[in-house]
Amino acid sequence: MELDLKKLELRNVNDKLQSLDRKTNERDFTIINPEGNHAICAGLNKEMNVTIKGHVGYYCAGMNKKANITIEGNVGTGVAENMMSGKVHVKGNASQSAGATAHGGLLIIDGDASSRCGISMKGADIIVKGSVGHMSGFMSQSGNLIVCGDAGEALGDSLYETNIYIKGNVKSLGADCVEKKMDKKHINKLKKFLKDAEIKNHKAESFKRYGSARKLYNFKIDNNY
Amino acid sequence: MCGIVGIYLKNKKLENSLGSLLSKMLINMGSRGPDSAGFAIYKKEEKEKFKYSICINELNFKDFEERINKHIDAELKKNFDHVILKSSVKPKDMLNILKNHFHDVALVGYGKSIEIFKQVGDPSEVVKKFKLDEYSGSHAIGHTRMATESAITTDGSHPYSTGEDECLVHNGSLSNHNNLRRKLKKNGVNFDSENDTEVAAGYISNNLSNKKNLKETLKDSLKDLDGFYTFITGTKDGFAVLRDEIACKPAVIAETDDYVAIASEFQAMAHLPEVNNAKIFEPEPGVVYSWGN
C-alpha cells in the first residue's frame, strides 16, 4: 500500500501503521514524499515492511519494535532512537545520535553517521558502512557498534560493555575506552554481522575491537578521568 | 532553538525565484523560531552608490523622507517598516548622520549589494509583510528566532550586519557574550542590544576590520566564542558556514549543479528544485565551509 505524505497527514499515517490490525494481511507499505518530516514511522510495534522513498527528518523509526523499515534517503537526528527490536536500514547518510539508547534490533546505515552514533545504546546492533563522527558510542552500555570507515574524536567515551569494531582510523579514544584483542569468537560474531549487512568488501579480521577498560566502574580517589 | 537558512545560486536562471525559494525555507523553519524572522538578500552590486537598509519603526515614511532629504541626496524605497536608502554618501558619513540626527531609526545593514529586512512575528507573516516572494538576487540568508538570550524585538532579530555587505545569522547561544562585549566596546565597536549574536557579529566585524579574512575570523571564533552555534555569514560573493566543535546545533547542506542550500533541518529545503537528487551532507564541526568567497 502506498501512503503519500503530500496528501495524508503524518499523524494519520503513523496512526495507521501503529494500530495495524493483527488479523490483516496488509504488511507492506511504501511512504512517498516524506519531505524531511519528523518522527515518520515512530512507535511501530508489529511485524511489517515499510519503505520510505526520500529524505526524512528527526527521530525516524523511533522506538521501533518488530517492524522492518527502509529509508531510501538521508535521515535526521536520532534515527531508530530507543529501538527495541526489528530492523532499520538507512540507504543514505544519518545525522547525529543514530540509534541513541536503542535496546535491541539492527540499524544499518549505508552512508556516514555523524556525531554521537550509538550514544547510550543498550543492546542494539549498529552497522555503519561509512564513517562515524565524534563521541560515537558515548556511555554505551551493551550491543555492538560496527564501523567500516573511520571514527571521529573521543570514540566510546565512558562506555560500559558495548563492543565497538572499527575498520578505519580512530581519531582519538574517549575516557576509559581501549583497544582490545580480537578473539576467534569476536571474529565469528563480526563475520555474521557483515554477512547480515551484505558487506563483502571488508574482512572481519581487518577490524579492530574497542571496549571498556572498566576503570570508571568504581570511584577511585586519584582517578585521572 | 532558532532556524537558519541560506541559498546560493550557481545557475543565474534561478535568480528571479530566489525570494520565493527563501520564503518557503523561512516559513518552514517557523517551527524552530516563531518569534521573529529576518533575511539578507544579495543583489547585483551597485557601481557607485551604497544601499542602506533602515528600519524606521513607527516613523511615518513621508516624515522620514523629508528629514533625510535635509541632510543628503537619496533615493528611497519603502518596504513595510524598512527603507532601502540609495545614496553616494559613504558608510562612515552615513553612520554619523544617522547617529546624530536619527535616534528613532535603526540601520540594519549596508553595502553595495546587500538588503536586510527583519521584524518580530511569525515567519510566515514577516515574509508576507516584506513581500519576499517578489525578490530576486544571487544569494540570500535568513533566520527564524526563538528568543533565549534577549527580548523579542527587531533589534534582537537576525541577520546582524557585520560590515559592508556582510551579515551573520546564528543558531545557538553564547555564554561569554558579556565579557566579549566589554572587550569589543573598548575597541570602539558599538552595540544596540543585549543580544549574544550581536556580539558575535561585532567580533567578526572587528576582526575583519583588522584585516583578517573571513575564513581566519571564523576559525578564530572557535577559540574566542564560548557557547554553541551554527553560523552562516553572508558576503557580497557568497556565504560561509561554521559549527562549533561540539556541534549540538544542527545543519544540513544540499548541493546541486544549480545551487547550494543550507538549513537547520532538511524539511526547510524539501521544496527546492531537484533536491532529492542533490548531494546532501552535514557540515563537520569546527570546519569552515564557504561558497562563492
Distance from CA of A224 to the nearest CA of B (A): 22
- Selected residue of A114, A119, A153, A172 to mutate for chain B interface (largest B Cβ count, 10 A): A114
Taking all residues of chain A, what is their mean pLDDT, rounded to a whole number? 96
Residues 6+ apart with CB under 8 A from A7: none
**Inter-chain contact A55–B280, Cβ cutoff 8 Å?**
yes
In a domain, A225, yes or no: no
pLDDT score of B166: 92
Mean pLDDT of A79-92: 98
What is the tens place of the pLDDT at every residue in B29-63?
Answer: 999 999 999 999 999 999 999 999 999 988 999 99
In a domain, A222, yes or no: no
Distance from CA of B267 to the nearest CA of A (A): 4
Cα distance between residue B264 and residue B4, in whole Å: 6
In a domain, A127, yes or no: yes
- The greatest distance separating any two alpha carbons of chain A, rounded to the nearest whole angstrom, comes to 62
Distance from CA of B225 to the nearest CA of A (A): 20
Domain containing residue A7: CATH number: 2.160.20.60
Residue ranges of chain B that CATH labels 3.60.20.10: 3-44+122-291
Cα distance between residue A206 and residue B84, in whole Å: 63
Residue of B2, B55, B167, B248 marked catalytic = B2
Tell me if B254 sits within 8 A of B265, measured CB to CB: no
pLDDT score of B162: 83
- A:95-154 residues touching chain B, CB 8 A cutoff: 95-96, 112, 114-115, 133-134
Is the model's pLDDT at A224 over the cut of 70?
no
pLDDT score of A218: 80
Pairing relation of β-strands A87-90 and A68-72?
A: parallel
**Inter-chain contact A77–B266, Cβ cutoff 8 Å?**
no
Tell me if B214 sits within 8 A of B236, measured CB to CB: no
Residue ranges of chain B that CATH labels 3.30.70: 46-112
- What is the mean pLDDT, run by run of 10 residues, along chain B of 293 residues? 95 96 97 96 94 94 94 94 95 92 93 96 97 97 91 90 91 93 91 88 88 86 93 93 93 96 96 94 93 82
Name the 3-class secondary structure at B208. Answer: helix
**Inter-chain contact B282–A77, Cβ cutoff 8 Å?**
no
In a domain, A224, yes or no: no
Is the model's pLDDT at A68 over the cut of 80?
yes
Cα distance between residue B127 and residue B115, in whole Å: 14
Size of interface A-B (CB pairs under 8 A): 51
Distance from CA of B118 to the nearest CA of A (A): 26
Is the model's pLDDT at A33 over the cut of 60?
yes
Q: Which residues of B touch A (CB under 8 A)?
A: 247, 250, 252, 265-271, 276, 280-282, 284-285
Write the residue in B267, B280, B281 that is nearest to A37 by C-beta. Answer: B267
What is the tens place of the pLDDT at every residue in A109-165?
Answer: 999 999 999 999 999 999 999 999 999 999 999 999 999 999 999 999 999 999 999
pLDDT score of B23: 98
Give chain A's radius of gyration (CA, Å): 18
Distance from CA of B45 to the nearest CA of A (A): 35
Cα distance between residue B140 and residue B239, in whole Å: 8
Nearest one of A130, A52, A62, A28 to B276, comparing CA atoms: A52
Is the model's pLDDT at A220 over the cut of 80?
no
Please state the CATH superfamily assignment of the domain spanning residues B3-44+122-291 in this structure.
Aminohydrolase, N-terminal nucleophile (Ntn) domain (3.60.20.10)
- Selected residue of B280, B282, B284, B287 to mutate for chain A interface (largest A Cβ count, 10 A): B282
Tally of domains within chain A: 1
Cell, residue A176: 576509559
pLDDT score of A117: 98
Is the model's pLDDT at A63 over the cut of 80?
yes
**Inter-chain contact A115–B252, Cβ cutoff 8 Å?**
no
- Supply the CATH classification number for the domain B46-112: 3.30.70
Residues 6+ apart with CB under 8 A from B101: B67, B71
Is the model's pLDDT at A225 over the cut of 60?
no
**Inter-chain contact A36–B266, Cβ cutoff 8 Å?**
yes
pLDDT score of B192: 81
Tell me if B93 sits within 8 A of B101, measured CB to CB: no
pLDDT score of B188: 87
Cα distance between residue A99 and residue A116, in whole Å: 9
ipTM (interface predicted TM): 0.89
pTM here is: 0.92
Sign of CA dihedral B218, B219, B220, B225: positive
What is the tens place of the pLDDT at every residue in A165-215?
Answer: 999 999 999 999 999 999 999 999 999 999 999 999 999 999 999 999 998
Is B2 annotated as catalytic?
yes
Write the residue in A57, A58, A95 that is nearest to B282 by C-beta. Answer: A95
- Position A131, amino acid: S
In a domain, A35, yes or no: yes
* Residues of chain B with C-beta less than 8 angstroms from the C-beta of A114: 247, 282, 284
pLDDT band at A223; cut points 50, 70, 90: low
Sign of CA dihedral B173, B175, B176, B181: positive
Write the residue in A55, A96, A112 that is nearest to B266 by C-beta. Answer: A55
**Inter-chain contact A92–B276, Cβ cutoff 8 Å?**
no
In a domain, A218, yes or no: no
